[in-house]
A and B are shown apart, each in its own frame.
Chain A
């Protein structure tokens, strides 16, 4: 274990670019851990925790780019460091070459681009509120992709936005679609009359992708995960709702969130009922009766919300979907998987990149197999002591801070290594019965997620086989055929690796439960 570092003074690159660099460095021979990051105090702490904080890096400032390599030997570390600058230069050249001007500050961009109307902010969290405030004072709407912004700041910014009639999407808002343009992580969806307001990025992605196969989407407005907390008061969702109400292109509205505080829920539902456009409400795990009472349409899952919106638009009666394929086929697929499972295999292991997908899957599965442990559990008593170790049924949200705060902030939708490791780890556990995954496509995501995961999944199944077990893998792919990665092609890659691919997150969870109960959950599901 040899650690070597390199400090590049006054060099700054954005975090996603640095992640690519870190990844490339880790591909070098003998390199065990590599990190290309800015030497902020927070990052130095992370390096220290990883045993990678050299004296040189300690003395660097937050304005300096540092590269740290932990390699098998001193020679390898040195080699990697000397290759590092070359890699930086190479990667920089791969960026889109353009004749247009690039600004150095938000202020100069605002000054030179008077027609602009939205500022998309993805700077480190500690600086995001400042930039957002500048944007609002400059009269621009804001989408804050960054997380790590305090609730206090969020409230202040949203109140300022409200005062000025400006939308504040976020913080921690990963997805928006405005007039057919995807912002942040977004899928290529058909344009149509259904508008979405979502406090969940991946929730918005799944709903818009599914509706894309139907009538299509007018806009998807993000609010950030905390918008429906009491103190924040749903300011963004209310504003988003109003915008869709005023938008002549929106006929049907879909609202998505985790259960809001009752006070906020009341306000939002009241506002929605006054809009006068048919509105589907998915407050994950919330009480459908409250929604029905006010003449809105409750949905129990993301898929259900999409299906109901589509039915409404078509003037059809919304149906409850358990499985969209032929039920006999579904039964047979499940049987083919579970009949090969060994007697000691007992637990479902969900390894998720999207938090909402993880939560939704846990809700569905707990009624069918029992309690599910998690790092983001439905009940506090089900919280994993160690997020890195599965216990009984475990669904882990790998997009959570304890994973992404690791050096370089790799989000599992872009960077697969952590999920790959976890898949193999759970595959090696003799008690694992089914592995369950989400795969997310679209702009911003990895260029080939199925391609990145398929070899690992094959390896996982081989591990089980070698030890006399059979390991089923179930997955859903969130996206559309028009996405850069192409939904159809991605699903095929997974199927070729022996994965059971389901058309939605909810159906994948059900399939996993069906396999895990060896078919016994069937009646509960379809009955």
Chain B
């Protein structure tokens, strides 16, 4: 599995936009996720979502 990565990294960038921009500037394959805190930071909802994830 790692061999594929070493051959051609295809990146999903989550968080700081400038890392994605740097990757594009290098001609790399990258997409950007304009990340926001899940559930707007609502702790109760995050716990529920994580609980349901396990089902």
Contact residues of A with B, CB < 8 Å? Answer: 10, 12, 14-17, 38, 40, 61-63, 95-96, 100-106, 109-110, 113, 115-124, 127, 130-131, 135, 140-141, 145-146, 164-167, 178-179, 181-184, 188, 219, 239, 242-243, 246-247, 249, 443-444
Question: In the bound complex, do residue A243 and residue B12 qualify as a contact, i.e. CB atoms below 8 Å apart?
Answer: no
Interchain CB contact (< 8 A) of A118 among B9, B21, B34, B40: B9
Q: Which residue of A lies closest to B43 (CB)?
A: A62
* C-alpha spacing A127/B46, complex, angstroms: 10
Question: In the bound complex, do residue A16 and residue B1 qualify as a contact, i.e. CB atoms below 8 Å apart?
Answer: no
Q: Which residues of A contact B18 (CB under 8 A)?
A: 16-17, 444
Interchain CB contact (< 8 A) of A179 among B8, B15, B16: B8
Question: In the bound complex, do residue B12 and residue A110 qualify as a contact, i.e. CB atoms below 8 Å apart?
Answer: yes
Question: In the bound complex, do residue A140 and residue B37 qualify as a contact, i.e. CB atoms below 8 Å apart?
Answer: no
A-contact bits for B1-34, CB 8 A (1 contact / 0 none): 1111111111111111111011111101101111
Q: Can you report 15 residue pairs joining A to B where beta carbons are below 8 Å apart?
A: A12-B37, A63-B41, A102-B34, A103-B31, A119-B12, A119-B13, A122-B15, A135-B12, A140-B12, A145-B15, A167-B5, A182-B22, A183-B23, A239-B2, A243-B6
Q: Which residues of A contact B51 (CB under 8 A)?
A: none
Task: Tell which of A115, A181, A247 has the most Cβ of chain B within 10 Å.
Answer: A181
Interchain CB contact (< 8 A) of A109 among B5, B16, B33, B46: B33
* C-alpha spacing A443/B24, complex, angstroms: 11
> Given A141-B5, A145-B19, A178-B5: A120 and B38 within 8 A (CB)?
no
CB distance from B34 to the nearest CB of A (A): 5
Task: Tell which of B1, B3, B40 has the most Cβ of chain A within 10 Å.
Answer: B1
Question: In the bound complex, do residue B10 and residue A118 qualify as a contact, i.e. CB atoms below 8 Å apart?
Answer: yes
Question: In the bound complex, do residue A15 and residue B16 qualify as a contact, i.e. CB atoms below 8 Å apart?
Answer: yes
Interchain CB contact (< 8 A) of A14 among B6, B15, B23: B15
CB distance from B53 to the nearest CB of A (A): 9
* C-alpha spacing A152/B36, complex, angstroms: 24
* C-alpha spacing A219/B6, complex, angstroms: 8
Question: In the bound complex, do residue B41 and residue A95 qualify as a contact, i.e. CB atoms below 8 Å apart?
Answer: no
Question: In the bound complex, do residue A116 and residue B31 qualify as a contact, i.e. CB atoms below 8 Å apart?
Answer: yes
Question: In the bound complex, do residue B37 and residue A127 qualify as a contact, i.e. CB atoms below 8 Å apart?
Answer: yes
Q: Which residues of B contact A127 (CB under 8 A)?
A: 37-38
Question: In the bound complex, do residue B26 and residue A181 qualify as a contact, i.e. CB atoms below 8 Å apart?
Answer: yes
Q: Which residues of B contact A145 (CB under 8 A)?
A: 15-16, 19
CB distance from A226 to the nearest CB of B (A): 20
* C-alpha spacing A63/B37, complex, angstroms: 7
> Given A62-B41, A130-B38: A117 and B4 within 8 A (CB)?
yes
Total contacts A to B, CB within 8 angstroms? 155
* C-alpha spacing A143/B45, complex, angstroms: 26
Q: Which residues of A contact B11 (CB under 8 A)?
A: 116-120, 181, 183
* C-alpha spacing A425/B17, complex, angstroms: 34
Question: In the bound complex, do residue B14 and residue A122 qualify as a contact, i.e. CB atoms below 8 Å apart?
Answer: yes
Q: Which residue of B lies closest to A40 (CB)?
A: B41
* C-alpha spacing A443/B41, complex, angstroms: 31
Taking A166-B1, A247-B6, A444-B22 as known contacts, 4 extra A-B pairs with beta carbons closer than 8 A to each other, sorted by chain A number, are: A16-B18, A120-B13, A122-B14, A145-B19
Interchain CB contact (< 8 A) of A117 among B5, B24, B38: B5
Q: Which residues of B contact A116 (CB under 8 A)?
A: 10-12, 29, 31
Q: Which residues of A contact B15 (CB under 8 A)?
A: 14, 120-123, 145-146
Interchain CB contact (< 8 A) of A247 among B3, B14, B17, B19: B3
CB distance from A271 to the nearest CB of B (A): 15
Question: In the bound complex, do residue A179 and residue B10 qualify as a contact, i.e. CB atoms below 8 Å apart?
Answer: no
- A-B CB proximity, top 4 nearest: A122-B15, A62-B41, A443-B22, A63-B40
Q: Which residues of B contact A95 (CB under 8 A)?
A: 17, 21
Question: In the bound complex, do residue A246 and residue B2 qualify as a contact, i.e. CB atoms below 8 Å apart?
Answer: yes
> Given A179-B9, A181-B26: A106 and B21 within 8 A (CB)?
no
Q: Which residues of B contact A100 (CB under 8 A)?
A: 31
Question: In the bound complex, do residue A16 and residue B16 qualify as a contact, i.e. CB atoms below 8 Å apart?
Answer: yes
Q: Which residue of A lies closest to B17 (CB)?
A: A14
> Given A121-B14, A122-B15, A246-B2: A102 and B22 within 8 A (CB)?
no
> Given A145-B19, A444-B22: A119 and B14 within 8 A (CB)?
yes
Question: In the bound complex, do residue A117 and residue B16 qualify as a contact, i.e. CB atoms below 8 Å apart?
Answer: no
Q: Which residues of B contact A12 (CB under 8 A)?
A: 36-37
CB distance from A89 to the nearest CB of B (A): 16
Interchain CB contact (< 8 A) of B40 among A17, A62, A239: A62
Question: In the bound complex, do residue B40 and residue A61 qualify as a contact, i.e. CB atoms below 8 Å apart?
Answer: yes
* C-alpha spacing A12/B37, complex, angstroms: 9
Question: In the bound complex, do residue B19 and residue A183 qualify as a contact, i.e. CB atoms below 8 Å apart?
Answer: yes
* C-alpha spacing A116/B28, complex, angstroms: 12
> Given A103-B31, A167-B5, A444-B19: A113 and B12 within 8 A (CB)?
yes
Q: Which residues of A contact B10 (CB under 8 A)?
A: 113, 115-118
Q: Which residues of B contact A181 (CB under 8 A)?
A: 9, 11, 23, 26, 28
Question: In the bound complex, do residue A182 and residue B26 qualify as a contact, i.e. CB atoms below 8 Å apart?
Answer: yes
* C-alpha spacing A62/B2, complex, angstroms: 37
